[in-house]
């Protein structure tokens, strides 16, 4: 049987313009609990789930009694922006172009279920999405590879015949643990140099730029 080929996509910061909103929401949630962390540090941690980001920002050896409240505060603060979320340039067109080339299109997201539904509506390409994960599908968030493993399981895509597209160092590291090539997009605010240093095979500015280069990109190798 021919191995199923596909492209896995991170969503936040890769297909939808949310990275800085998450950073501001975490900044305010931390401030509400007297934790003053510079926004630049928070931004660099976006892409981790709430199970990792607080340890990363505040240290693992600390009182964690407020963690649930901080995570809940982040969700409320970020939720205030839901109706104004915008797709990044070319997001839906990129997904459709991959599907037109016979590739499964899979969203490998750590967003919660209701939030994922909103993100999918913002992207506007549900007609070509084969499968999509949420936080409920993984024990650990990136850089652990759990979400990618769940995305592969749900879509029946072969790990040896896929590419992951993400915007954060944590995306690249998660893909690397499974030996999956990762294309980095800089639209989440992480530089091309940082993404390449983490192991990205190539980088582009945003989904539109990847779409323009699609038949010269790592994705082309899946259709050859």
Q: Find the mean pLDDT for residues 136-143.
A: 91
Domains of the chain (ranges, CATH numbers): 6-17+86-223 (3.40.50.1000), 19-83 (1.10.150.240)
Residues found in the chain: 224
Q: Does pLDDT of 1 surpass 60?
A: no
Q: Find the mean pLDDT for residues 147-176.
A: 97
Read off the pLDDT band of 194 (50, 70, 90). very high
Helix (H, G, I), strand (E, B) or coil at 6: strand
Q: Does pLDDT of 17 surpass 60?
A: yes
Tens of pLDDT along 46-99? 999 887 999 999 999 999 999 999 999 999 999 999 999 999 999 999 999 999
pTM of the model: 0.96
Angstrom distances, CA of residue 6 to CA of 133, 152, 199: 15, 9, 20
Does residue 189 come out as left (phi exceeding 0), alpha (psi in the -120 to 50 range) or beta?
left
Longest dimension (CA), the chain: 57
């Amino acid at each position: 049987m021919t191995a199923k080929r596909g492209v896995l996509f991170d969503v936040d910061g890769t297909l939808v313009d949310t990275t800085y909103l998450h950073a501001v929401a975490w900044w305010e949630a931390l401030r509400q609990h007297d934790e003053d962390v510079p926004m630049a540090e928070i931004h660099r941690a976006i892409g981790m789930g709430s199970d990792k980001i607080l340890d990363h920002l505040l240290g693992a050896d600390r009182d964690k009694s407020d963690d649930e409240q901080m995570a809940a505060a982040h969700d409320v603060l970020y939720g205030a922006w839901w109706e104004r979320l915008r797709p990044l340039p070319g997001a839906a067109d990129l997904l459709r172009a991959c599907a037109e080339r016979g590739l499964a299109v899979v969203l490998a997201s750590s967003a919660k279920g209701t939030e994922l539904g909103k993100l999918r509506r913002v992207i506007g390409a549900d007609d070509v999405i084969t499968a999509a994960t949420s936080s409920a599908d993984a024990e650990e968030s990136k850089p652990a590879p759990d979400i990618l493993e769940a995305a592969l399981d749900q879509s029946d895509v072969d790990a040896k015949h896929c590419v992951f597209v993400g915007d954060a160092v944590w995306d690249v590291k998660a893909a690397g643990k499974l030996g999956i090539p990762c294309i980095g997009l800089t639209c989440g605010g992480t530089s091309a140099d940082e993404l390449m240093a983490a192991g990205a095979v190539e980088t582009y500015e945003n989904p539109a730029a990847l779409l323009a280069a699609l038949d010269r990109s790592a994705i082309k190798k899946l259709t050859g």
